[in-house]
Amino acid sequence: MRYLHTMVRISDVDASLRFYCDLLGLKEVRRSDRPEHGYMLIFVAADENPDSQIELTYNYDPEEYTGGRNFGHLAFNVKDIYATCQRLQDGGVTINRPPRDGRMAFVRSPDGISIELLQDGEALAPAEPWASMENTGSW
Amino acid sequence: MRYLHTMVRISDVDASLRFYCDLLGLKEVRRSDRPEHGYMLIFVAADENPDSQIELTYNYDPEEYTGGRNFGHLAFNVKDIYATCQRLQDGGVTINRPPRDGRMAFVRSPDGISIELLQDGEALAPAEPWASMENTGSW
């Protein structure tokens, strides 16, 4: 048995690729665009385990997607949590739970999918602006 | 960067371990029980890629967890989709989308998390009772 992917729905392809790829750092690995069937699937993944994917489903008749409580979040290990959070923040993403401890942060995708970022290996030394940044919203 | 896990919330530990492990076939890989903090985390994974995990979060003050549309499903590759569906069905799980094509099935966890099962490699030859089984509900 093998884990393949977690599917999440997206309401805006450009905004989602900007978030998941340009800002978060995942790579697009394959795409299946079937407008005649009303959907486009974009599979993205982290470079270290590209076979464990996130399937982004875009429906050509999109809804405004909201969340439920049975799903929690997606979690990724990153090499430098401060650099990742800086890139996300510079791109306009709210750092809902800043990495005050040099170890853990939470952000949300444009469609409200909660994303946990965990520092690879040992926690980084506390550093500003993160160390004194308050939480924003929920995650 | 590395994918770590997808977190889902569970309202019943026994029912969830029965579903995810005994019936679906994942293995428990670690557990962090912190009743003093109000939660227990159980990480489960498929045998072929045990580092790509599902984090089951049990809160000692549980809610009834319902779903939202931004999350879609978790997908796993299985060696024999008919055997997996038979085990799930014998365990009382509704096969929402039976593997009529010998290739794909959907079920739901006790908390409504949609699970996609995909046959490893080539689709199996159509076979009963699956080939003529109707869909049930949504997935």
Encoded tokens for B21: 């492990």
Residues of chain A scoring pLDDT < 50: none
- Which residues does chain B have within 8 Å of residue A76's beta carbon, measured at their own beta carbons? 1-4
CB contact under 8 A, B67 and A70: yes
Domains assigned to chain B: 5-60+73-119 (3.10.180.10)
CA distance B35 to A62: 41
B55–A49 CB contact, under 8 Å: no
- pLDDT tens column, B62-110: 789 999 999 999 999 999 999 999 999 999 999 999 999 999 999 999 9
Say what the pLDDT of residue B123 is.
98
The pair of structure tokens assigned to A8 is 């999440």
| Contact A55/B at CB under 8 A | yes
d(CA B127, CA A138): 47
Q: Which of A1, A63, A67 faces B71 most closely, judged by CB atoms?
A: A67
Mutate to test the interface with A, among B23, B71, B116, B120 (most CBs of A within 10 A): B71
**For chain B, what is the total number of helices (H) and then of strands (E)?**
2, 7
Q: Is A128 part of the annotated catalytic residue set?
A: no
